[in-house]
Amino acid sequence: MSGASSQTTSYSVPSGVLGLRGPVAKPAPGTLPLRGDLAHMALAGRHLAAHYVIPNSRTAGDAGADFLMAPREDADIVFSLNAGDLIEVLDTEGDWAWGCIGPDGPSGYCKLSSLAPEATDS
């Protein structure tokens, strides 16, 4: 995927009292940024998760970034980003990040080393 030119997101975060009404179909892995333990904040009110996360915007590094179905190097590729493309990181553990393009997905795991360094305040 390519074409990300901004480090900002443009979606609305739910407000007010949130609740689910009736069963919701579980999305296929690699689609919505939703796991059993956490989900993208914009999915609150549509999908149930233990925690909702406001994403940290990052960009793919100079070599781009492959996003995988699982945090393993032999996992299937869900999507690929070109250098500088925007990713919304929702979780990190060890050498891996779990993120998405936006609240409507796709989502996947990538090596933290494939992302550009975070900007620092000076």
Asked if pLDDT for residue 16 goes beyond 70, the answer is no
Model confidence at 3: pLDDT above 60: no
Q: Which phi and psi (to 5°) does residue 41 adopt?
A: -55, -35
Domain 38-114 is in which class?
Answer: mainly beta
Q: Are 107 and 30 in contact (CB under 8 A)?
A: yes
Higher-pLDDT residue of 85, 23: 85
pLDDT band at 23 (very low <50, low <70, confident <90, very high): low
Q: Which pLDDT value is given to residue 27? A: 81
For residue 59, list its beta bridge partners: 86
Average pLDDT over residues 10-38: 75
State mean pLDDT over 13-40: 77
Write out pLDDT tens, residues 45-92: 788 888 999 999 999 999 999 999 999 999 999 999 999 999 999 999
In this prediction, residue 5 has a pLDDT band, given cuts at 50, 70 and 90, of very low
Per-domain residue ranges of the chain? 38-114
- Return the closest-CA partner of residue 53 out of 43, 45, 62, 68: 43
Looking at residue 13, what is its pLDDT?
A: 65
Given a contact cutoff of 8 angstroms between Cβ atoms, the answer to whether 68 and 60 are in contact is: no
